[in-house]
Amino acid sequence: MSTDMIARTRAVEFPWATDGQVAFLDHASTGPLPTRARRAIESFGLRRAEPFRLKAEDLFPVLARTRAEAAQLLGAPAGSIALSTNTSHGVNLAARTLPYGKGDIVLSTDGEFPANVYPWMAACRERGAEFRMLPLAGHLPDEEALLRAITSDPRVKGVAISWVSYWSGHRFDLNALSAACRARGIWLFVDAIQGVGAVELDLAITHIDMLACGAQKWLLSPWGTGFTYVHPSRVQALEPAEVGWLAQRRDTDFRSLLDYDATWHDDARRFEVVTLDFVNFAAMAESLSLFNELGVPRTAEAVRHLANHALLFADANPSVALITPREMARRAGVLAFRVADLDGTSKRLREANVFHAVREGCIRLAPHWYNTVADLDRALNLLIARN
């Protein structure tokens, strides 16, 4: 039943994926836009080109709807979501607003995507703090060492990690990490762009202080869209580092803007820097509605099914080494393979219209819920083919 629904949705929302021309398995780079998001861009974009066709209710309510869809996806209150243009915006927000200072340590691990490294390096340098990246164990983050460092070093004031690694596909146990941070009274920041949309996350259960997520990959949304979640207990305690002109409570009457009142919104809108691209956020709302309609348990199950298939393939074919953890709770949608001839294999995949990426010496396949086993097999069989 569930598979039927996915197949029907694939035909409606991704019609190009049904004719066998391409196998698009690169959602860890840029996700495609579903039909409903494309339609939103076309219709809203036309009106944007001739703004006299736009009504007031076409604008700010779009942002409210996008926040609500993102909140629903993550089990979070809408007031905890600030829309932002990319993941980096949220990383910078975290690095510049969360509490730590001179002599403190912000912990992370080696192997992080640069978007979650440079802002911390810069902010720690400014504050006289240390951004410490713990060595990997083999090619994966050493979660035990991270937990030990959290509990044993009183100088550690926060942890900043990517939930899912962009290259190995390793997924952190956020519940264990969150529990360790809370026990020590320190904060947890998560770059979630490679996980949200691929696997479940319920922020009502998992306590995260701040989470940044671009929507352009697994959330199948336009470039320049994303959001930052701020835990409700932190929203009013944090001073925005960048100040938007609509981050204040007195925002609604545009006829008189000059009675300045720098009182922040009570909710996470205080962290938004408006004007945002209403057209693209309208499309993001459409894309998120697709996840919310299907239900994340269903879409995540489809991603797991494909990953399990890849695991069995790797077991049967020792010439390809899957470096993504085998344990289901330790992976999401990113699958990384070491092959003997990296460039030759990538070329073969490209020639067969199999969209993939090469990252850190691996072939990265990133299938999403609407992909089929046939899409994945087309890629897997080329990993073992000989020139």
Ligand X SMILES: Cc1ncc(COP(=O)(O)O)c(C=O)c1O
Residues in touch with ligand X (CB under 6 A): 86-88, 113, 115-116, 162, 166, 191, 193-194, 214
N- to C-terminal Cα separation, the chain: 40
- Whose Cβ is closer to ligand X: residue 104's or residue 143's? 143
- Residue number with CB closer to ligand X (88 or 372): 88
Q: Please report how close the Cβ of residue 163 comes to ligand X at its closest, in angstroms.
A: 8
Closer Cβ to ligand X, 191 or 200, answer by number = 191
> Residue with the closest Cβ to ligand X?
214
Q: How far is the CB of 52 from ligand X (least distance, A)?
A: 33
Least distance in angstroms from the C-beta of 114 to ligand X = 8
Nearer to ligand X, 9 or 194 (CB): 194
Alpha-carbon Rg of the chain, whole angstroms? Answer: 21
Cα–Cα distance list, 248 to 8, 237, 261, 268, 269 (Å): 44, 15, 7, 11, 8
Nearest approach in angstroms of CB 318 to ligand X is: 29
In the complex with ligand X, the residue whose CB is nearer, 94 or 294, is 94
Q: Tokens representing 175?
A: 């519940």
How many whole angstroms from its chain centre is CA 202?
Answer: 14
- β pairing state of 105-109 and 156-162: parallel
CA quadruple 235, 239, 243, 248: dihedral sign:
positive
Q: What single letter denotes the amino acid at residue 16? A: W
Taking the least distance from each CB to ligand X, the nearer of 108 and 162 is 162
Cβ of 21: how many Cβ atoms within 10 Å? 9
Q: How near is the Cβ of 215 to ligand X at its closest, in Å?
A: 9
Cβ at position 106, least distance to ligand X in Å = 16
CB of 192 to ligand X, least distance (A): 8
In whole angstroms, the minimum distance from the beta carbon of 175 to ligand X comes to 20
Strand order in the sheet with 81-84: 81-84, 226-230, 210-214, 187-191, 156-162, 105-109, 130-134
Of the pair 6, 106, the CB lying nearest ligand X is at 106
CB-wise, 31 or 214, nearer to ligand X? 214
On whether the CB atoms of residues 213 and 193 are closer than 8 A, the answer is yes
Name the residue nearer to ligand X (CB basis): 157 or 217: 217
Q: Using CA atoms, how far apart are residues 276 and 179, in angstroms rounded to an integer?
A: 35
Shortest approach of ligand X to residue 324 CB, angstroms?
14
